Amino acid sequence: MAPNEIGRHWRSILDTLSDGVAIIDPSGQVLMVNQAMCRLTGYEDWELVGQACTVFNCDACARTRRPQRGGWCELFSGEQPENREISCRLIRKDGTYMPALKVAALLRDGDGRLLGAVETVTDLSAISRRDQKINELSHQLAGEDGFMGMVGQSEAMRRVYHLVEKAAQGQAPVLIHGESGTGKELVARAIHDLGERHEGPYVVFNCAALSESLFESELFGHVKGAFTGAHRHRAGRLESAHGGDFFMDEIGELPVSSQVKLLRVLEEKHFERVGDQRTLFVDVRFIAATNRDLGAMLQAGQFREDLYFRLNVIPIHLPPLRQRKEDIPALVEHFLARLRRRTSKDIAGVSRQVMERLTAYHWPGNVRELRTCLEYAFVLADRGLIELDQLPPHLDGRAVAPAQAAPAPSPTALEHRHTPEDESQRRELAEALRAAGGNQTKAAKLLGVSRATVYNRMNRLGIELKKSVRD
């Protein structure tokens, strides 16, 4: 075929490409798009041709437009390279985001006169899904044994396993109750892995990790320019969970004003991004977890009743470690086996005295604290059995009895104490602060919460740092 004949078939050639192609004139008007561009963006050909190229809603392009030239692109200014490659997000016609790789190049005739530009768009959605699946598989491999990563054959844990299997078979929301460090995250993950949505995404959203002002943007996402600092489009965590499971950890820390916004999604499965008027549909299964007494919070007006009943369709309660001490030997072996696989140390186990100490201790940080305790001892031990002097300093005889470990409540704590759950949290937080030598960051790690949560609980429960460490 002669070159001039190829020129007559250029449109058919472009339509065979899997990447989107657009031809744009120097004024920014779309002159032509191929079929792939229509398929990727959801627009028809006639909806794009003749429009300004801003119709694609590319967040990265906005940063290269020159206000003094009417907001048009620097690609045509002659001050930038004539070819460029950028990663960006486009907004499709239905309002969903598409991660993309866009390559733009100027077009000139034989005399060097500027004719326009050609842009190719590669959809990166499949790569994003692949990366997410790799992360999920890595997480699954980390929980090597036990029931979906959970260890223990006590009667209480067997009831938990049974409930998890039943809950995974349906689509109803699940509310997981339990103290910090009992394994609520493992239960949520097990429900996802055993459920019908296991091939879909699994997204974790920590309700205590964000300020109220950032809640909407993080949960629902935002469009470029929605607020100061919103330089690019961003998909919210909820949107990222479409087709899968959405796990809301520490739901009891969510402010009441944010609870209203979450309730609408639970009831209607619709939401809008911050700064956008498009209403989007999301298909997710909701799983929530808390270490708070939500029943008491309802009475105190700190948690919405309608949200509570929408979440608490299938309640699962995780027992604290002190109520299933028969599982401690199995947990010890489980954690030591993992440590042996990571290192070359030949640590056979723990001595009889150490096992007695571990089973006598109150474990305010539950299974998470037991794991960190063994990691500490594993570092000190060289070979053979772990001995008493290799345990963390707070695991001595005075720390065994829970009544001795907890400091006397301050007048402020007594004045504001509403529930037995508050008293339990006060005692466990005081124990963690003592174990951490007053370091709030280390105490937060022991309890499995954020440092901000530790600080807020100290204020709410009237815990004085110096007194907690001294007592």
Q: What angle do CA 193, 254, 420 make, to 5 degrees?
A: 95
Instruction: Indicate the SS3 state at residue 455.
Output: helix
Exposure string of 238-247, with b = 16+ CB inside 10 Å and e = fewer, is bbbbbebbbb
Q: What is the pLDDT of residue 413?
A: 38
Select 406-470's CATH number: 1.10.10.60, 3.30.2290.10, 3.40.309.10, 3.40.1790.10.
1.10.10.60
Q: What is the pLDDT of residue 248?
A: 94
Q: What angle do CA 338, 344, 348 make, to 5 degrees?
A: 65
- Tell me the C-alpha distance between 343 and 324, whole Å: 29
Listed by start position, the domains of the chain span 3-123, 127-319, 322-399, 406-470
User: Domain 322-399 class?
Assistant: mainly alpha
Q: What is the pLDDT of residue 369?
A: 94
Helices (H), 269-410: 294-299, 305-311, 328-342, 352-360, 366-380, 402-405
User: Domain 127-319 class?
Assistant: alpha beta
Confirm whether 322-399 and 406-470 share one CATH topology: no
- Tell me the C-alpha distance between 374 and 386, whole Å: 9
List the CATH code of the domain at 3-123. Answer: 3.30.450.20
DSSP H or E segment with residue 425 = helix 420-435
Q: What is the pLDDT of residue 45?
A: 87
Consecutive 10-residue runs of the chain (471 residues): their mean pLDDT? 55 82 86 89 89 82 54 59 74 84 82 82 74 51 63 92 92 94 94 91 88 80 75 82 93 88 89 83 94 91 93 95 94 92 86 93 94 92 88 66 40 43 74 81 76 71 63 52
